Structures are given as C-alpha cells and as structure tokens.
Amino acid sequence: MRDDRKRLVHILQAIERVERYAARGEQAFRRDELIQTWMVRNIQVIGEAARALSQGLRDDHPNIPWSSVIGMRHVLVHDYFEVDLDIVWRVIERDVPTLKRNIRNLLATLDTR
C-alpha cells in the first residue's frame, strides 16, 4: 500500500503542475510550445504513476477511469506525432479537476487506515 500511496502523491503533484500553467488559459497553451510540452509531460507522469498502481487498488476504486488515464499516457508517449492539442486541452480542462478530486478523496481514505 505504501507504494500505491507514493504513486497517488505523484499523480497529485503532476496535476498541480498542470494546473499551475492551465491557469494561464487556453490561448497561452496554444501559443506556447513550452507550456504544451510541460502539460503533455505531466499528463504522461499521471498515466505512468496510475499504471504503476497495484491492480487491487485500481479494482477497489472503479469510479476513477484508470484505463483512460493510462491510455492517454500511452498515446502521448507512443503516438507523439499524432497528439491532438484539442484533446489535450479538453483533458486539462474537463478531466484533470475531476481526477484531482478523486485522488484527494482516495488519499484521504488511505490515510484513515
């Protein structure tokens, strides 16, 4: 469980890094290649940390779309020439806040054990 907690903290840290630059807005994201690279890299970290979680933890928390999180990482790493910035921004805007809330809740339940 300790490794799972560590990975969940990594996910939360990467989310916070994404949020730091997402606050600049979509136009800044679209204009600045460095911000795009920063966002993509941290979404990869989120997916890699999710992939490293135990299957038991993922099975115990089916409300979190683990396969989508891991799948996004797969696309960003292996299909990097095909990365669609519209999809990346949609993930940042729509999915990351929900994931953050779910990961915080999950960490809180682990901390009470």
Is 80 exceeded by the pLDDT of residue 2?
no
Backbone angles phi, psi at 47, to 5 degrees: -65, -40
- Spot the catalytic one: 78, 90, 101, 104: 78
Using CA atoms, how far residue 13 sits from 8, 39, 49, 84, 102, in Å, is 9, 13, 11, 24, 14
Residue type for position 111 = D
Q: Which of 73, 90, 94, 113 is catalytic?
A: 73
- Residue 1's pLDDT is what? 52
- pLDDT tens string 19-43: 999 999 999 999 999 999 999 999 9
Query: Which amino acid would we find at residue 104?
Result: R
Angle of helix 66-78 relative to helix 33-52, nearest 10 degrees, comes to: 130
CA 46 from chain center: how many Å?
Answer: 4
Task: For residue 10, indicate whether it is catalytic.
Answer: no
73 is catalytic: yes
